[in-house]
Amino acid sequence: QTATSFYEAVGGAETFRRLVAAFYREVARDEVLRPLYPEQDLGPAERRLRMFLEQYWGGPRTYSDERGHPRLRMRHMPFRIGPIERDAWLRCMRIAVAEIEPEVLDDEHRRALLDYLEMAANSLINAPF
């Protein structure tokens, strides 16, 4: 099997590092999202999201080695996530995705990534408003 994973096709670890770093830079200045994050230091949360996304897209399986099964819906239950939080999360993520150059992330991969992030964010809503 020589099929290239999405992870490899979009530049591997460096791309995921940049994506998630830009995302948390935005979270840090977002007045809806910042209060949700329990830890003062966003570094550990940044690392967990990066490991998760790398694994999801066919990269190293470090996330599950360290954290076990993702069970994202359960892990988000402590946080109240309604449409406002979902929109704030996606706003930060879209800014981060937009910073990855088209030479690194072509239209097709960009569309797949954004579609996934939107679907995943919708699936984690656990409050009606």
Residues that bind ligand HEM (CB under 6 A): 33, 36-37, 45, 48-49, 52, 67, 72, 75-76, 79, 81, 85-86, 89, 117, 120-121, 124
What are the Cα distances from residue 122, in Å, to 67, 86, 88, 90? 23, 7, 12, 10
Nearer to ligand HEM, 17 or 48 (CB): 48
> What's the sign of the alpha-carbon dihedral 34, 38, 41, 44?
negative
Least CB distance to ligand HEM at residue 27 (A): 9
Amino acid making up residue 101: E
Rounded CA-CA distance 129/126 in Å is 9
Nearer to ligand HEM, 12 or 76 (CB): 76
Least CB distance to ligand HEM at residue 93 (A): 8
Nearer to ligand HEM, 75 or 94 (CB): 75
Q: Phi/psi class of residue 105: alpha, beta or left (left: φ > 0; alpha: ψ in -120 to 50)?
A: beta
Least CB distance to ligand HEM at residue 78 (A): 8
Nearer to ligand HEM, 1 or 29 (CB): 29
CB 25 within 8 A of CB 50: no
Least CB distance to ligand HEM at residue 104 (A): 20
